[in-house]
């Protein structure tokens, strides 16, 4: 099985460090639990712990430059993840959608295939390589390009809710949504472009809580229902 996991940059930062070694070590241990089961893993890392384009734009920066700064932030995160994974004996290879030859490989399907053959975890950085997109969209693109069986949006909440569960205690959690329901309701938890790409390519999406250490393992290894499934049917194709 091949999985693409989108992880927000905030997951690897702490109050003390914008990129926190121990947070990445925690992530490495979580990923190892599925890696040991021969799951082929791709990770798209965000950059929100360092820079988001829209914050820089609010601060006065030109929009496209701001987005490039955001994309480079994701590559910094990717370098950190590759480094910590390596120190935890978890083989990985970093790719970038922007050419930075001395530091990272430019993403190509051929290079990705080599990495997977060598049992490396692929870390995709620099988003789509184009301003005005988000790393959710980049993750959907990479999931499609790498023929992934599933796209996991690993985030801070345990699924898609009808309203913000932190603000509204009556918010309802959905176990299942069709792509069209998600697109119609414009849920904010995930970029609509990303859902549209998954709809076109028929890749099931699961939104789950990254910080529930069992969630990814339960979904992929124990084949349990976790988080919210966004697909065209209420049944996940690999269940
Ligand atoms: N970004 C971009 N094009 C892309 C992906 C990302 O311009 O294809 C920029 C965008 O400005 C974004 C920033 O990179 O705000 C960091 O990504 P994101 O906000 O998705 O990170 P996350 O919230 O997942 O940590």
Rounded distance between C-alpha atoms, residue 137 and residue 70, angstroms:
14
Ligand 1 centroid to 97 CA: how many Å? 12
Strands lying side by side in the sheet with 205-209? 105-106, 92-96, 121-125, 40-45, 2-7, 150-155, 205-209, 228-231, 176-178
Strands 205-209 and 228-231: antiparallel
Q: What is the mean pLDDT of residues 21-50?
A: 97
**pLDDT exceeding 70 applies to what percent of the chain?**
99
Cβ atoms of residues 125 and 94 within 8 Å: yes
* pLDDT(7) > 90: yes
pLDDT of residue 165: 87
Between the CA atoms of 145, 150, 151 and 154, what dihedral angle is there, to the nearest 10 degrees? -150
Q: Encode 114-148: b = buried (16+ Cβ within 10 Å), e = exposed.
A: ebbeeebbbbbbbbbbebebbbbbbbbbbbbbbeb
pLDDT band at 239 (very low <50, low <70, confident <90, very high): low
b (16+ CB within 10 A) / e for 179-210? beebeeeebebbbebbbebbbeeebbbbbbbb
Q: What angle do CA 71, 73, 79 make, to 5 degrees?
A: 110
Is pLDDT of 110 > 70? yes
Q: What is the DSSP secondary-structure string of 57-122?
A: HHTT--HHHHHHHHHHHHHHHHHHHHHHHHHTT--EEEEESS--TTTSEEP-HHHHHHHHHTTPEE
Query: 2 near 39, Cβ under 8 Å?
Result: yes
What is the model's pLDDT at position 233? 83
End-to-end C-alpha distance for the chain, whole angstroms: 12
Q: Which residues line ligand 1 (CB under 6 A)?
A: 8-10, 46-48, 52-54, 67, 70-71, 73-74, 127-128, 130-131, 133-135, 138
Average pLDDT of span 105-111: 95
Confidence of residue 228 (pLDDT cuts 50, 70, 90): very high
Q: Which residue's C-alpha comes closest to atom 14 of ligand 1? A: 70
Is residue 225's pLDDT more than 70? Answer: yes
Q: How far apart are CA 25 and CA 49, in angstroms?
A: 17
Q: What is the mean pLDDT of the chain?
A: 96
CATH entry, 5-175+186-226, from 3.90.79.10, 3.40.1160.10, 3.40.50.300, 3.10.129.10: 3.40.1160.10
Select from 7, 52, 56, 64 the residue to mutate for testing ligand 1; criterion: most ligand atoms less than 8 Å from CB.
Answer: 52
Q: What pTM was estimated for this model as a whole? A: 0.97
Determine the residue of 62, 71, 156 to mutate for testing ligand 1's pocket, defined as the one with the most ligand atoms within 8 A of the Cβ atom.
71
Q: Please report which helix (H) or strand (E) contains residue 194, including its range.
A: helix 192-201
């Amino acid at each position: 099985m091949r999985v693409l996991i989108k992880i927000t940059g905030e997951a690897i930062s702490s109050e003390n460090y914008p990129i926190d070694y121990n947070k990445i070590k925690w992530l490495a241990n979580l990923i190892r639990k599925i890696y040991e089961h021969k799951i082929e893993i791709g990770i798209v890392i965000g950059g929100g712990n360092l820079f988001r384009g829209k914050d820089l734009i609010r601060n006065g920066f030109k929009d496209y430059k701001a987005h490039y700064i955001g994309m480079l932030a994701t590559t910094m995160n990717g370098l950190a993840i590759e480094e910590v994974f390596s120190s935890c004996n978890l083989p990985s290879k970093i790719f970038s959608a922007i050419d930075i030859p001395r530091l990272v490989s430019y993403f190509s399907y051929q290079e990705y295939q080599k990495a997977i053959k060598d049992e490396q975890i692929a870390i995709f950085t620099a988003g789509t390589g184009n301003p005005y997109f988000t790393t959710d969209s980049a993750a959907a693109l990479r999931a499609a390009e790498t023929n992934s069986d599933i796209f996991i949006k690993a985030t801070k909440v345990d699924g898609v809710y009808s309203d913000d569960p932190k603000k509204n205690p009556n918010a309802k959690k959905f176990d299942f949504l069709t792509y069209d329901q998600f697109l119609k309701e414009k849920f904010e938890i995930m970029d609509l472009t990303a859902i549209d790409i998954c709809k076109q390519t028929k890749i099931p999406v699961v939104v789950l809580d990254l910080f529930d250490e069992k969630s990814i393992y339960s979904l992929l290894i124990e084949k349990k229902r976790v988080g919210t499934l966004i697909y065209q049917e209420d049944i996940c194709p690999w269940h």
